Amino acid sequence: MSAIDRVFAQLRREGRKTLIPFLSAGDPDLEFTTAVLRRLPEIGIPLCEVGIPYSDPIADGPVIQSSYTRVLERGITVRAIWEAVQTAVRQAPITPITMVSYAIVYRHGLERYVREAKQAGVAGLIVPDLPLEESPPLADVCRREDLSLIQLITPTTPKERAKRIAQHTTGFIYYVSVVGITGERQQLPPEVVDNVAWLRTQTDLPICIGFGISRPEHVRMLAPVADGLIVGSALVRRIADSQDQTRQTAIENVLNFLRQLAEPLEKAHPLSRRK
């Protein structure tokens, strides 16, 4: 079992589901990123996405784009991000996943990127601009290093293609709840529940839903069909808005937001599994 497999197996044994926060690595600085990562297990969150800043985001809305720009302007490197992640992993039982453009992976070299990620304690990769048909070389390297390669399925993905993606995914399936870019939404499309319920009949992999999740009512809506809910722009915006506060206050505000958002998960029904 991979590290991500073990996390979801433990969640199933406990009858729990989880939020998966997204952090832009290095925003506002790497010390802040490390501090939040190591505090997440205190509030029952075992997984976190760490966004590797990139100058040409694929599907990121303005909030995450702006955070990436701030980080790149300060010259933070991938090596420095690895060091920050490794520090957090050594200090707390957190399982990081990187959200990264394939351009960065390719520039580093597939084997080097995966090897360094694993050494830093990273458990999986999400590479949103890597099509299924072009993923085998990276999937092979990830398999050798026992890292998960998490693939995305969207509302416009044809069902036959969704089945193929599920067959070639490891760790969990990232289901994109809306068409378009990331960002906070007032409402999520009601059909996402039926779409994920259908997908669950096609795979035994955990299914985590992302894009637009920012309110407790979103969590209540999606908790019955999801294993995890990914929270990105809403969290990144709160971090950006907290820079006039003390470091400790900003971190506590992040944790309190996640606690409030996660509260409906405690009332969610047990996971429904394909027989």
Which residues have a catalytic role annotated?
A: 49, 60
**Sheet containing strand 47-51, strands side by side:** 148-150, 124-126, 95-99, 47-51, 18-24, 228-231, 207-210, 173-176, 152-153
For residue 273, CA distances in Å to 2, 150, 223 come to: 20, 20, 14
134, amino acid identity? E
Q: Are 258 and 45 spatial neighbours (Cβ–Cβ below 8 Å)?
A: yes
Task: Give dist(CA 136, CA 132) in Å, integer.
Answer: 8
Task: Give dist(CA 147, CA 124) in Å, integer.
Answer: 5
Task: Give dist(CA 167, CA 261) in Å, integer.
Answer: 31
| Partner residues linked to 207 by β-bridges | 173
Can you give the length of the chain in residues?
275
In the DSSP assignment, the letter for residue 269 is P
